[in-house]
Structure 1
Amino acid sequence: MRMAQVGVLLDREAAEKRRRYGINVFEAFVGEVLAHAGIPFEWIDSAEELARRKPDLLLAACAEEDQASAERLWTYAEQGGTVISYGGLNVLAAKLGCLRQPDIPVGYADSGADSGPLRFLGATPWERLETNAYPAAEFGAIRRERPTGDRAGAALQRFVIGKGSVERWSVDIPQTIVRFQQGIGPVLDDGIPAKDGTGAVDEGILKADDRIGMDWELDRSRTETGAPYFAFPYADLWKERLIGHLLACVTAKGMTLPFLGCWPEGVNAVATVSHDSDLNIDESAESTLAVLKECGINTSWCMIEPGFSPSIYELVKKAGHELAFHYNALDAQGGKWSEAEFARQLEWMKKATGKTRVASNKNHYTRFEGWGEQFEWCERHGIQADQTRGPSKKGNIGFLFGTCHPYFPIAWFDEDNRMYDVLEISFLTQDLDHHSLADSSVIVPFLEGVARVGGVAHFLFHQVHIHQQPPVANALRKLVAEAGKRGFEFWTSEQINDWERARRKVRIKGFGSNGELVAEGIESAANAVVYIPLPEGAEEAAAAEMRYGVPCIRKALGRASQQAVKEG
């Protein structure tokens, strides 16, 4: 099999022009989607490079909307290339016999998959005209504002051009993913509360959940007890659409495109539990340690000033738990949103715990401002993972930010939309069966939803509530039991961070003369799993494992397979 060469066009001049006028180029996040999946690709800075680089498939993330660029893309497709666009390439609309329609800020897409309508946060549909001279096909539909709204066009259009094609999604998928995960804009004021009173985010405290891309009415479900929750990991499901479509295009060309599994060989799913020390009662720490020992799991302890007694930290470390940071910027408690205060509190935490390396942080009360300042602070002060993006209210638990995947966030246009070197690990809920919070009926749907998309099931339990409220402690026990039934392993945030960074060092290069997979960096993640999609019509497809909608051969890059895998 031949491995397809994938290029991602991020036109330098087009991107600079947009940023000069204050426009974000979140389309660059397509690179993070591919990197998380371990899909090999190369960046292409301009359409001029296509004649020299000649990738088999081109993801046109950001292209110049001018005739020169259009002609180069057209020639590339005519000669057998596949061009994939996410709401762009409007300069080609007329030539393809289509009419660009007005932008749609919010709606739902039915792309024919089994997950139901997917909410999107930006689309530019095309209407096909009767004069269309090029063979074309349309798939799915996008609808305005709500799943039952007026049809606004096809979700995906395919145009045959010479020996190749243009595949155009109406939805700006990378931007939609970013706006779900990081918010529809910077946090500058309070968010919009839920009408039913379950999500009063307008309490005068700036938080991560003040700029969500979800709809209180359309995107929440309820459990059998009536507990409301955001049920759909839209960002992760859009990643699946993007990757699944790419792989389908690859295999249709008779090629393959290997990618990595989310977790090591032998690990089917991962859950994590974090604790915020808040009131810092030593007895609550002791009670929590006892429950965790009974459950047989290790967790992440986020420490807030003034902290526990020194002896508690030694017990936590001895038991194998992670000591993490809990930055307090809550004004009512004397906190302050500033890098100086972040650094001061982190230095206190290191001295109090005896830690020289602090891997992860979660902000107290999910306190958050702006867009990327805190990620900059984490970078400069050695924090590699953040857990802040999660719910602060009873009614906005679940997939509040559309994701349970660990990911590296993207910066605002003033930082050239770079990727921050901080792994975000968002959480789903806190303190289940607490007298004023959600009940434990959400555990099973959360675990099943996370397992569906291969993410992290992150639950927060405060030590003080485990200590003072027996139902909360029992909810933790229930979580561990239900997760165990479904094959989840419990990792700390530090373990998740270390694994994600290690697996991203693996570079799949192709296949050797004897058909063996050639990869670099295997020593960093020796137990990584690789999936090799089978071309259409392959004999092995009947016995293959389905991933992203295509049949794949599964291989573990462990010691047993070292002879079959070449170290670069």
Structure 2
Amino acid sequence: MTVATAKVALLFEEKAAQLRWQYGLNVFQLYIQEVLGHAGISYTMLEDADDARLSEADVVVAGLTADTQESAEALWRYAELGGTVVAYGGLNKLAARLDCVRSQATGTGYAALDGRAEPIRYLQAEVWTPKEPTPAVTAKGTLRNGTPDGPAIGPALLSFQVGKGSVHRWAVDIPSTIVALQQGAAPVLQDGVPAKDGTGALDEYILKADDVCEMDWELDRRTTDTGAVYYAFPYADYWREALLGHLLGAAAERGLAIPFLDVWPDGVEQVALISLDSDMNEDAAAETTLDVLKACGVPSTWCMIEPGFGEAVYKRAVREGHELAFHYNALEQEKGVWGAQEFKRQLEWARRATGRQGIVSNKNHYTRFEGWGELFRWLEAADIQADQTRGPSKKGNIGFLFGTCHPYFPIAWSDEENRMYDVLEVGFLTQDLNHPMLADDSVAVPFLDTVRGVRGLAHFLFHQTHIHHKEPVRQAVAKVVAEAERRGFAFWTCEQINEWERSRRSVRIRGAGADGAIEAEAGTLAQDAVVWVPRTAAFGSGEPTELRYGVPCVKRVLRAKREHKEEAVANG
């Protein structure tokens, strides 16, 4: 058996992007690069619809096109000749030609998609409606306005047969939606709107990451049996799965496979992280915490705030496998300052105090955050590769408030032409379970089950002082570890997560040969990786398969790069 692999191209017309940046508009459609990069899908970047390489591609993702007849005609010709075009909104010059009526952009709503039990929140949609039903048009999914049971306003996805090929258009700009859920739809400039039930008092005159959140207090939270409320749905992850599943399926319809990388190394299904913020800096609390973690048998990440612990604590923590990280304090009530110079000063202290120049990760004290990209620029300049700041600061907004439990690279605002920051964001779900002022540990199981469902990262934050002084918090740590291990989670430090994510992105999958043998450059791959090859009519029928993004796939293992080999070929 041989595998016919699809050539994927990503079309971003430079002239369209420059026009938007000229007027201060964002081009978050560029985030499709991060979605494909996270999945390890290889593609060719095209900056003009007239690029001759367009005709060489089997699937063209129209990320951003110029609103011109020339661009529309180029894509139409490509589809007529047998190509597959996929778009997330846009393509409006083709609406009339495809016999559709355009609608005004809507506000928020929920998409019911085939194969998914939960509706997915969207922030805006631009719906096309076919004038007449025809066999050449297939509609999938339903968009509902406002609420999950609101009025239906049209299909989520329309697929059109065009000549020998096809055009697939989502009504939701999925990449931009993922950005808005993960990073907010606007910079943090003022306090957020508090919850009516009193569980989320965001309006306390402290600017934080969660002051801009695109979730709905009423529609997107659920309640445990003990009354703990939490954001229950990683909508950004659900959109990512929908995008990738459709892309893989569109190629499979043509008998083509798009090989992609698994999220975690071979043998790992999902990962958990315990991070600890040193806040009160009590050596006795640190020793108690080390004892608790030793009994649980898991590593953790220690985010250190000035003035820190004694040297003996750091030595023991490192000896027992824990990571020493930074905890930047910009909280005005503690005389903290939000600014590049103060960030640099505190980081220099942390490096001296811990004896570690190569600090890898940071988490801001009290999740302090302002603006959009300032923090990420400071982290880049300081060569800190990972950040953990994006998480809840209140009892009632714990969970998936930013729509994701996967590490990701954030995107810049239009003033930096929406570049990707070289900082891995590793957000957290909750802090100090069983603390009397916070949520109880009844949320641990639904968090873990939801993370396992999307094969993500379950990040729980604790403070050494609360572990030391409060027995219920110590019990919560033990419960989190026991329940996670029962579900097959591997506990890693933030440094390990960062190392794996960066190493796996160095892999370049070139294709699949006879019997699905993967041809790839292993790059700096530190652990064996899994490559999934979608089953097609000509490949995989006699092999065991697993569903990935809703598509039956055959597993191949890509061995970590050895010093004497420039590339690896995995034969299963």
Report the TM range for the smaller structure's normalisation: over 0.9
Distance 1:54 1:22 in 2: 34
- Whether the aligned pair in 2 keeps the contact of 1:50 and 1:76 (CA below 8 Å) is no
CA distance in 2, matches of 1:319, 1:553: 38
Cα gap change, 1:33/1:195 in structure 2, threshold over 3 Å: closer, same or farther?
same
Q: RMSD between aligned alpha carbons?
A: 1.8
Within 5 Å, give how 1:487-526 maps onto structure 2: 487-512=488-513, 516-521=517-522, 524-526=525-527
What is the TM-score of this pair, normalised by structure 1? 0.97
Amino acid at match of 2:442: S
Contact 2:159 2:167 in 1 (8 A): yes
Alignment of 1:75-474 (within 5 A): 75-130=77-132, 135-474=136-475
Match of 2:67 in 1: 65
CA apart distance, 1:543? 3.0
Are 1:541 and 1:552, in contact at CA under 8 Å, matched by a contact in 2?
A: no
**Separation of aligned partners in 1, 2:469 and 2:172:** 48
Corresponding residue to 1:566 among 555, 566, 569: 569
Q: Residues 337-356 of structure 1, C-alpha deviation per residue, up to 9 Å, x if partnerless?
A: 10101000000000011001
Cα distance in 1, alignment partners of residues 419 and 151 from structure 2: 36
Alpha-carbon distance between aligned partners in 2 of 1:35 and 1:497, rounded to the nearest angstrom: 15
Q: Partner of 2:175: helix, strand, or coil?
A: helix
Decide whether the 8 Å contact of 2:525 with 2:561 is kept in 1: no
TM superposition shift of 1:114: 2.1
Preserved contact between residue 198 and residue 393 of structure 1 (Cα < 8 Å): yes
- 1-structure distance, mates of 2:52, 2:465: 59
Distance 1:228 1:542 in 2: 44
Deviation at 1:539, TM superposition (A): 5.7
**Structure 2 residue aligned with 1:8:** 10
Residue type of the alignment partner of 1:455? G
CA distance in 2, matches of 1:258, 1:532: 5
| 1:508-556 superposed Cα distances (whole Å, 9 cap, x missing partner) | 0013467532100255234111111111475627731111111111112
CA deviations over 1:275-307 (Å, ceiling 9, x no partner): 000011111101100000100011000000111
Residues of 1 paired with 2:243 and 2:224: CA distance?
Answer: 30
Deviation of 1:65 after TM superposition, in Å, equals 1.2
Displacement of 1:34 after TM fit?
A: 0.7
Structure 1 window deviating more from structure 2 (220-229 vs 528-537): it is 528-537
Separation in structure 2 between the aligned mates of residue 564 and residue 549 of structure 1, nearest angstrom: 30
| Cα shift readout 1:70-123 (whole Å, capped 9, x = no counterpart) | 000100000111111101111111111111101013111112222321001221
1:49 alignment counterpart? 51
Q: Distance in 1 between matches of 2:152 and 2:20?
A: 30
1:18 aligns with 2:4: no
Cα 1:133–1:475 change in 2 (3 A) is closer
Quick one: which of 6, 29, 32 aligns to 2:31? 29
**Structure 1 regions of 5+ residues with no counterpart?**
none
SS of aligned partner of 2:536: coil
> C-alpha displacement at 1:129, in angstroms?
1.1
What secondary structure, in the 3-state scheme, does the structure 2 residue paired with 1:48 have?
A: coil
Cα distance change on mapping 1:76 and 1:51 into 2, 3 Å: farther
Shift of 1:560: 12
The amino acid across from 2:8 in the alignment is V
The answer as to whether partners of 1:517 and 1:564 remain within 8 angstroms in 2 is no
**What CA distance in whole angstroms lies between the structure 1 residues aligned with 2:468 and 2:551?**
48
In structure 2, give the amino acid aligned to 1:121.
L
Cα distance between partner residues in 1 of 2:518 and 2:153: 44
In structure 2, relative to structure 1, the CA distance for the partners of 1:404 and 1:5 (3 Å cut) is: same
Whole-Å separation in 2 of the counterparts to 1:514 and 1:234:
36
Q: Distance in 2 between matches of 1:509 and 1:432?
A: 46
